[in-house]
C-alpha cells in the first residue's frame, strides 16, 4: 500500500520546482520502470502490482530500495497516468555535467524545444538511431518532466542530455555544425561523414538568430506539399535517417 506521505511526495515531483529541490523524479508504467531497473539510475523507491513484482523479481533483488505492493487503482491515483497496470518508481536525477564526444560521433543540439511530447519523442528517436548524447539549451523542456519521460518509452535510460548555454558551447565545438532551415542543402544530397552536431530549432521559431550564426552547414528536408513546416521530432527522425543511411 502506498502511504499518504509518499503520494504527497509523488504529486509534488510532478512540478519542476520540487524535482529540482529533491533531485528526484517519478517513472510510471511497466515498460519505463523495467527500463529504469536495467539502467544505471539510482532507484530509491518502487511500488508495483503483485504480478509486476513477481515477474521482475530478479531485477528487484539486484537493487537496494524500498519496495511496496500496490493495486492498479493505487498506482493510478498516486501518479499522473490515467491507468497504470504495473509499477511506479522514484529515482535520483543524474548531475548535469558535460560529456566528451568521439571524433566520429553525431549528437543533437536542441535550441529551445519547449513541448514535452516533442522532447520525449526526440529522445526516443535519437535512441533508435544510436544517438547517445543531446546538448540542450537552458530553455528546452525538462527531460525529467513526466510527459517527456512517458514519450521516451524508456529511451531516457540510454540517451544523456546536457543542459547549457548553447552559444559558448557551439563556439568551442570542433565539429561541423548542421542546422535545419527551410533553405539549405538537401539532406539527401549532402555527404555526412566524420561526425557532427545537428541543431534542431524551436517548434514555432526555428533556430534562433544567435545560433544560426554558428551553423557551418545549413541543411533542409525537401518539401513536396504545401505545409509551412515539419514537427520538430519528425524532422529529427528524417535527418537522422539520412545521416545513418550514408554511414
Q: What is the CATH number of domain 106-245?
A: 3.40.1280.10
Q: In this model, does residue 114 exceed pLDDT 90?
A: yes
Q: What is the DSSP letter of 157?
A: G
User: Which top CATH class is 4-92?
Assistant: alpha beta
Angle between helices 232-245 and 116-128 (to 10 degrees): 10
Contact 35, 83 (CB under 8 A): no
Q: In this model, does residue 247 exceed pLDDT 80?
A: no
Whole-angstrom CA distances from 229 to 110, 115, 178, 232 are 17, 16, 18, 9
Q: How much is the pLDDT for 178?
A: 97
Whole-angstrom CA distances from 197 to 92, 108, 146, 159, 237 are 29, 6, 27, 15, 15
- Within the chain, all domains assigned CATH 3.30.1330.30 are found at 4-92
Cell of 15: 512540478
Which distant-in-sequence residues (6+ apart) come within 8 Å of 161 by Cβ?
123, 133, 134, 135, 136, 143
Higher-pLDDT residue of 229, 170: 170
Q: How much is the pLDDT for 62?
A: 87
| Percent residues over pLDDT 70 in the chain | 100
pLDDT in tens, 90-111: 999 999 999 999 999 999 999 9
Q: How much is the pLDDT for 88?
A: 96
| Percent residues over pLDDT 90 in the chain | 89
Among 155, 235, 227, 244, residue whose Cα is nearest residue 199: 235
pLDDT in tens, 179-220: 999 889 999 999 888 899 999 999 889 999 999 999 999 999
- Within the chain, all domains assigned CATH 3.40.1280.10 are found at 106-245
pLDDT in tens, 30-58: 999 999 999 999 999 999 999 999 999 99
Among 105, 99, 111, residue whose Cα is nearest residue 215: 111
Amino acid at each position: 500500500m502506498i502511504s499518504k506521505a509518499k503520494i504527497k511526495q509523488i504529486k509534488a515531483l510532478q512540478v519542476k520546482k520540487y524535482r529540482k529541490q529533491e533531485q528526484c523524479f517519478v517513472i510510471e508504467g511497466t515498460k519505463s520502470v523495467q527500463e529504469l531497473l536495467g539502467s544505471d539510475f539510482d532507484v530509491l523507491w518502487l511500488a508495483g502490482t503483485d504480478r509486476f513484482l513477481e515477474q521482475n523479481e530478479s531485477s528487484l533483488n539486484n537493487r537496494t530500495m524500498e519496495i511496496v505492493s500496490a493495486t492498479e487503482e493505487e498506482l493510478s491515483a498516486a501518479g499522473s497516468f490515467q491507468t497504470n497496470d504495473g509499477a511506479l518508481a522514484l529515482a535520483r536525477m543524474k548531475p548535469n555535467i558535460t560529456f566528451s564526444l568521439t571524433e566520429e560521433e553525431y549528437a543533437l543540439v536542441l535550441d529551445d524545444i519547449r513541448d514535452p511530447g516533442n522532447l520525449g519523442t526526440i529522445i526516443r528517436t535519437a535512441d533508435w538511431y544510436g544517438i547517445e548524447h543531446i546538448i540542450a539549451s537552458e530553455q528546452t523542456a525538462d527531460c525529467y518532466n513526466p510527459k517527456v519521460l512517458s514519450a521516451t518509452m524508456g529511451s531516457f535510460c540510454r540517451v544523456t542530455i546536457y543542459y547549457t548555454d548553447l552559444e559558448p558551447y557551439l563556439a568551442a565545438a570542433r565539429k561541423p555544425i548542421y542546422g535545419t532551415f527551410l533553405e539549405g542543402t538537401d539532406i539527401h544530397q549532402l555527404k555526412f561523414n566524420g561526425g557532427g552536431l545537428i541543431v534542431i530549432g524551436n517548434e514555432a521559431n526555428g533556430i534562433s538568430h544567435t545560433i544560426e550564426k554558428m551553423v557551418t552547414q545549413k541543411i533542409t528536408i525537401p518539401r513536396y506539399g504545401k505545409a509551412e513546416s515539419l514537427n520538430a521530432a519528425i524532422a529529427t527522425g528524417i535527418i537522422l535517417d539520412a545521416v545513418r543511411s550514408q554511414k
